[in-house]
Amino acid sequence: MIELAIKRPTLVVALFAVLSIVGMLSYFQLNTELLPKFSAPIVTITTIYPGASPSEVENGVTKPIEDAISTLESIRFLRSISIDNFSIVTVALTFEADPDLRIQEAQRKLNAITSELPPGARTPTISKISSDDWPIMNIGATSSLSGTAFYDLMETRVLPALTRLDGVGQINLLGGQKRVVQVNVRLDKLEQNRISILQVLQAIRKANLEFPTGKLKNDQEQIQLRLAGTFQSLEELEQLIIFKSPLGTQVQLYEVAEILDTQEDVEDLTRVNGLPAIGLSVLKQSDANAVDVSTRIQAQLKELEGQFEAENLQFSIATNTTDFTIEAVNSVFKDLILAIILVAVVMLFFLHSFRNALIVMISIPASLVVTIIVMNVMGYTINVLSLLAMSLVIGILVDDSIVVLENIFRHIEMGKSSKQAALDGSKEIFLTALSITLVLVVVFIPLIVSSGIVAIIMQQFAVIVAVSILMSLFVSYTIAPALAARLPQQENTSTLGQWIFGGFEKGLQWLAEQYAQSLKASLRYPVLVLLLALGLLAASALLITEGFIGTAFLSIGDRGEFIIQLELPKSATFSETNRTAKQVEAYLFEQLEVQGVFTLAGRQTGFLSGGRVSSNLAEVSVKLVDKNQRALSTSLYAIQTKKALAERLPGVKIKSSEASFFGSAGDVPIQVIVSGTDYAIVQQYADSLLTAVKMMEGTIESELSTGTGTPQIDIQMNRPIMEDNGLDMQIVGYTLAVAFGGNSDAKYREGGREYDIQIQLDAFDRTSREDIANLTFLNKKGQQLKLSQFASITPSTGPALLQRYNRVPAIIVQSQSIGRPIGDIGADITAWLANHPPPPGLTIDFGGDLKRQAESFASLGLIFGASLLFIYLILVALYDSYLDPFAVLFSIPVALIGALLALALVMESLNIFSIIGIIMLNGLVAKNAILLVDFVNQLQQEGKSKKEALVEAGLIRLRPILMTAISIIFGMIPIALASGAASEWKNGLAWTLIGGLTSSTLLTLYLVPAVYLLLNRLKTNRKI
């Protein structure tokens, strides 16, 4: 390959020209996303059970679904939530499981039990957690139209115009008021005419049907027959005969009910910056470019504003995750460009030549072009992690070319011609260069082939780094020798350049002399060098144990968005909740730091629970000005806002926390799940744990997941009396559900559209317990009975939310954190649990970020160990020895000294990104050690003594080791110093690499020779 590149350079030019063209075409085909596409192994089953309390939902829906789903393969745990009207069962699968296959199995199992669910329960819906399930935009629409006219405009004109755009997957309307036909049944009229509300419902259903009834055929034609039995007008509905007595007396609908063409009751609404609006939540298609979809949406919104100018239709974009995506991508692009410039400057100083620097630097675009082709083939996207991978490898990509070029120059200095030196120098260093490349690549193999949450997040990152590094090796043995063989050996340099480069070279020579002297001295006491390194390593470990470095799962940076969630007492009406939300808005509008406000009244968003819908809930999303224009971080501002609102809104439960990476309300980070069969014991232990968590440093908004009780009215049946009077539980339950919950199965058609016919008792008859008691029932004999005749009606309090974990009752102790890493709080909780073990029968498990952190750290620990093993095996193959590789392996841990010190100095936590950096250091540190050991072995084969070979190898390899280390460090500096929400989350990774490379480079130059000497003494002693 080397000879071919030197003799046929046109072949190399043609090859990389083709790759460059294909790479450019591939780049324009890549989608732009915030994060890599992923599908978490989590399946959710959501079931709507209208009018049911949490206990009814749990017994009637949640438990049967759990029983059916529990036989699925590959389940890690089951978690369920039962609230008013909703059941949400979350199935966490093993990371190796295929969610799509499990969904198919779950669907079959659910189909088998659907008939066993309560009559009022809707069909369960199954979905999986995917990166495409989060909305990319939340938009508010306002108009001079109001009520149903505005909603119809949005549903019939605006929604179709937006959903037909390329890449748009789904758009959900939030708020607004639909048109509805209300049939408000009067209780006194029912009693007077001796009929029940079920008869009203059944009469409307039977009279509002449409049938295909066959075909009319003859010799000339065939005509389809259709029975148009639906209501053609509201007058026809009013005149409907509900009941006809044996004597011929008729009762029509208008005689027992008021029929209104109106709008549905307001249950939730949306406001944008205080203005009433209908919200639009935009989801993209899985294969669409989020940025392109956002651009098309915004262009279409402007067009719609012009089209409906008479209706004064206006759109306001409340949240747009692609803004953060663009900011993040642009930030990493800037980091990448700055890294290339800084690495070029380093190359120029070390190589003293634009020509030589060009030879080395050409490996960067050549390697990245092929990487882009691989990204396109594998379906990857341009996202913050893929670009971060490219930024991080900028300094690494020049390593192989530096090593090859340095060796070529060494052969030129021996008096060889350029072509011969390029051939001999490249061949001589081939095995070493191959080894240092492979030790960098193999550290990512465990991450690429592993499963788990870390693999979901970082797999694309690992593939891109590995491919880029492999391509840099290919470039260093094709382009670099070809150019070195043809460019002149001497290059004219200006006087200023000679002065600058000459001064730098003198400084480097002085450093080499000092290093040689200190290395000779250290080789007299190799054991002392080893002990010193181990002492520094132990001291750096104290930074973690003494709390200078905290542990966390993931840091998202300060993106200037936080979410306020309001919960009023359970008895609060929607109008009370709406007034409270307006008070929150009024406070926020007074704050100069607030840039935008998006309000949801009647609902809250959620990470895994699918959100909550209730008249006593509200959520306010707040967008702040840029962090440079405010004194407080987003997290502190959110806490300050909560305190201020708590003083203004006594009795209202307020949560305030930063938005998740996707701009929505995130999962509570600190969760301790207490589960057991005895709910009373579970409650008692959870209360004790909650008291302890509240006292721990850094915890805020600590609470139990159950919340406060919900006021309810219990109806207890006297079964003997009920049965004696010819009534059964199904008739009683269904009558109550229609009377007080309403039924909208029947539809009214007009103008090609369908509207609900809402059948319910009149609002006047649904205000007190007496109305429940006076509800009339009709038995099979035609006798009329009131509910109070066969049931007791008593007020009580029921749970607001019931949870189960692995099919047993559970309570979650949950908390937010502020000013302290989550991992440190988790350690305090673990210590408390150890000192206060749960009673027999109780199980403790962690959820939220605590669980994700534990899983990811365990996975990263295995990856770290596997990477060390792979490096060792490569070195065994390189040195044909099981002992010599330890001279390299002993140098790897010293990288932790600088890595941990850097994290402590910049106050970064030990999270998955910084641990990935430590794993990368395995290969980077081993590379420098290989350069030294390989050349020492070569010099010993030439007849040099061990100490002479160690000193000479150190002097000769000092330049390439410093050059590669400094180029990588300079490539990391733009990432480490980048600011802004789109950059802060990756600073820790960059500082880990900078600190680790600095300490390992300095210590490797002394530690590797010392360990090499000790290992040789050991081998000599064994032979003796």
The predicted structure's pLDDT at residue 140:
87
The answer to whether residues 361 and 395 touch, using CB atoms and an 8 Å cutoff, is no
The predicted structure's pLDDT at residue 1024:
44
HEC string of 920-954 equals: HHHHHHHHHHHHHHHHHHHHHHCCCCHHHHHHHHH
Question: Measured between alpha carbons, how far is 152 from 308 in angstroms, rounded to an integer?
Answer: 13
Question: Where is mean pLDDT largest: 100-114, 380-394, 450-464?
Answer: 100-114
Query: Please, which pLDDT band fits residue 1022 given cuts at 50, 70 and 90?
Result: low
Mean pLDDT of all residues in 111-116: 86
Give tens-digit pLDDT for 871-920.
888 888 887 888 888 888 888 888 899 999 998 888 888 888 888 888 88
Query: Please, which pLDDT band fits residue 645 given cuts at 50, 70 and 90?
Result: very high
Query: Please, which pLDDT band fits residue 583 given cuts at 50, 70 and 90?
Result: very high
| Range 984-1008 burial, b when 16+ CB lie within 10 A, else e | bbbbbbbbbbbbbbbbbbebbbbbb
Strand partners, 748: 755
Give tens-digit pLDDT for 965-1008.
888 888 888 888 877 655 666 788 888 889 998 988 888 888 88
The answer to whether residues 573 and 587 touch, using CB atoms and an 8 Å cutoff, is no
Per the model's pLDDT, the better-predicted residue between 610 and 847 turns out to be 847
The predicted structure's pLDDT at residue 5:
80
Question: Measured between alpha carbons, how far is 1010 from 527 in angstroms, rounded to an integer?
Answer: 7
Give tens-digit pLDDT for 85-98.
888 998 888 877 77
Query: Please, which pLDDT band fits residue 675 given cuts at 50, 70 and 90?
Result: very high
* Beta pairing, strands 808-817 & 699-704: antiparallel
Element (H, E) at 96: none
Mean pLDDT of all residues in 802-829: 87
Per the model's pLDDT, the better-predicted residue between 131 and 215 turns out to be 215
Strand, coil or helix: 326: helix
Among the listed residues 158, 139, 140, 137, the one whose alpha carbon sits nearest the alpha carbon of residue 311? 158
Strand, coil or helix: 425: helix
| Summary mean pLDDT of the chain | 83
Whether the pLDDT of residue 122 is over 80: the answer is: yes
- Going by the DSSP 8-state scheme, the letter that residue 629 receives in this structure is G
Element (H, E) at 845: strand 842-847
* Beta pairing, strands 612-624 & 594-604: antiparallel
Two tokens at 411? 């052969």
pTM as predicted? 0.76
Per the model's pLDDT, the better-predicted residue between 224 and 764 turns out to be 764
Residues constituting the chain: 1024
Give how far Cα 787 sits from Cα of 177, 711, 764, Å: 34, 21, 18
Per the model's pLDDT, the better-predicted residue between 246 and 603 turns out to be 603
Mean pLDDT of all residues in 288-301: 90
Q: Report the helix count and the strand count for the chain, using DSSP H and E.
A: 39, 30
Give tens-digit pLDDT for 732-783.
888 888 888 888 888 888 877 888 888 999 888 888 888 888 888 888 777 8
Question: Measured between alpha carbons, how far is 228 from 957 in angstroms, rounded to an integer?
Answer: 91
Give tens-digit pLDDT for 685-714.
999 999 999 999 888 888 888 766 677 788
Q: E strands of 191-311, at which residues?
A: 209-217, 222-229, 241-244, 250-252, 257-263, 269-272, 275-284
The predicted structure's pLDDT at residue 897:
92
Give tens-digit pLDDT for 848-860.
888 888 888 888 8
The answer to whether residues 291 and 322 touch, using CB atoms and an 8 Å cutoff, is yes
The predicted structure's pLDDT at residue 609:
45
270 residue type, one letter = T
| Range 734-752 burial, b when 16+ CB lie within 10 A, else e | bbbbbbbebbbebebeeee
Mean pLDDT of all residues in 515-539: 89
Query: What does the DSSP assignment read for 952-980?
Result: HHHHHHHHHHHHHHHHHHHHHHHHHH--S
